[in-house]
């Protein structure tokens, strides 16, 4: 048995992923292509990705918004959670409400977006995912302007530049409906979030986001610490009322 915490967390994540979130060829290829492109290995772990897929299933998601694409690894998990998809991403009904489910994912870096598109296509999900290049705050404003009155998002995953998380949460609320689930990644960051005196922009913003969750009457929310292959971090989850 290993003794240092990170080795132990890795071993447990290894066990859970092996039993419950086995990566298939498309996911492995996405990770390999992301690494080969020199992009940072900061995507969700497989069991976290499966949690996103499961959350999408649980709310019957047909429209999903992701802010922060990287190589599209979490995007693939989310798209597999769309209500009209089999868990390997195959379209199984496509009928339901007369239209197929869709993920819109926002990425500032055009090179990352190109890698993501290739990964998503290899996973057989090209027609289910739209990768939008640009600063997310700008893309969100465009998205809201071009689709007024369109069905709101059923699930929003916030996972981009952390100082903007409060603004992304505001947009998520604007584009939500009662029952929409909003999930935000990386809210703990080795415990830094507990430091009220921190001058770090990500910490300050994460704390502001937590205050919004606490005082916003339109959501019920909680936050959880996690340990695992991604170190010590956490998620916030909010349900729109
Ligand atoms: N969700 C991904 C990881 C995203 S990492 C996964 O788990 O697989 C964060 C991503 O947000 C990076 O690719 C980064 O380029 C992107 N990003 C950072 N600032 C951004 C901004 N202002 N607008 C859009 N994307 C941004
Ligand atoms: C970073 C970003 C992430 O979304 C993540 O899950 C881990 C790390 C980062 O910017 O360092
Ligand atoms: Mg993240």
Report pLDDT for 87: 80
User: How far away, in angstroms, is 97 Cα from ligand 3 center?
Assistant: 32
The number of the ligand nearest the C-alpha atom of 45 reads: 1
Residue 172: name the closest of 135, 133, 218 by CA: 218
Higher-confidence position of 149 and 131: 131
Any atom of ligand 1 within 6 Å of the Cβ of 84: no
43: DSSP letter: S
Name the residue at shortest CA distance from atom 6 of ligand 2. Answer: 42
Report pLDDT for 93: 64
CA distance linking residue 216 with residue 83, whole number of Å? 28
Indicate which atom in ligand 1 lies nearest the CA of residue 70.
Answer: 13
Out of 1-5, 80-84, 141-145, pick the least confident: 1-5
Indicate which atom in ligand 2 lies nearest the CA of residue 161.
Answer: 10
- Asked if 152 and 180 count as a contact pair (C-beta separation under 8 A), the reply is yes
The per-residue pLDDT for range 184-230, each reduced to its tens digit, is 999 999 999 999 999 999 999 999 999 999 999 999 999 999 999 99
**Residue 12 predicted with pLDDT over 90:** yes
Strands 129-133 vs 102-107: parallel, antiparallel or unpaired: parallel
The whole-model pTM stands at: 0.96
Indicate which atom in ligand 2 lies nearest the CA of residue 70.
Answer: 4
Element (H, E) at 11: helix 5-20
Q: Using CB atoms within 10 Å of the CB of residue 134, give its burial: 0 to 12 exposed, 13 to 18 middle, 19+ buried.
A: middle
Residue 193: name the closest of 221, 225, 149, 150 by CA: 225
What is the best residue among 186, 189, 228, 229 to mutate for testing ligand 2's pocket, by most ligand atoms within 8 Å of CB? Answer: 186
User: How far away, in angstroms, is 229 Cα from ligand 3 center?
Assistant: 13
Strands 129-133 vs 219-228: parallel, antiparallel or unpaired: unpaired
User: How far away, in angstroms, is 109 Cα from ligand 2 center?
Assistant: 15
CA distance linking residue 65 with residue 87, whole number of Å? 19
Q: What is the mean pLDDT of residues 127-151?
A: 90
The per-residue pLDDT for range 56-109, each reduced to its tens digit, is 999 999 999 999 999 999 999 999 999 888 888 888 865 444 456 899 999 999
The number of the ligand nearest the C-alpha atom of 185 reads: 3
Number of other residues whose CB lies within 10 A of the CB of residue 239: 16
User: Which structure tokens are listed for 166?
Assistant: 């409060």
Strands 231-240 vs 181-185: parallel, antiparallel or unpaired: antiparallel
User: How far away, in angstroms, is 67 Cα from ligand 1 center?
Assistant: 7
Any atom of ligand 1 within 6 Å of the Cβ of 109: yes
């Amino acid at each position: 048995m290993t003794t240092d915490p990170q080795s132990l967390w890795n071993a447990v994540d290894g066990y859970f992923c092996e039993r419950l979130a086995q990566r298939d060829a498309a996911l492995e290829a996405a990770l390999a292509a992301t690494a080969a492109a020199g992009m940072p290995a900061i995507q969700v772990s497989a069991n976290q990705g499966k949690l996103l897929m499961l959350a999408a299933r649980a709310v019957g998601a047909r429209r999903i918004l992701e802010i922060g694409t990287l190589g599209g690894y979490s995007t693939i998990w989310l798209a597999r959670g769309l209500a009209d998809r089999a868990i390997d991403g195959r379209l199984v009904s496509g009928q339901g409400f007369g239209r197929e489910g869709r993920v819109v994912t926002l990425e500032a870096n055009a090179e990352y977006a190109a890698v993501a598109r290739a990964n998503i296509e290899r996973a057989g999900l090209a027609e289910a995912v739209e990768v939008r290049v640009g600063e997310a705050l700008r893309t969100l404003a465009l998205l809201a302007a071009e689709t007024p009155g369109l069905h709101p998002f059923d699930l929003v995953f916030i996972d981009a530049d952390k100082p903007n998380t409060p603004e992304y949460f505001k947009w998520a609320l604007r584009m939500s409906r009662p029952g929409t689930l909003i999930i935000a990644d990386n809210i703990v960051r080795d415990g830094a979030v507990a430091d009220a005196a921190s001058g770090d922009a990500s910490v300050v913003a994460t704390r502001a986001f937590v205050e919004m969750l606490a005082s916003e009457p339109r959501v019920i929310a909680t936050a959880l610490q996690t340990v695992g292959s991604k170190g010590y971090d956490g998620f916030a989850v909010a349900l729109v009322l």
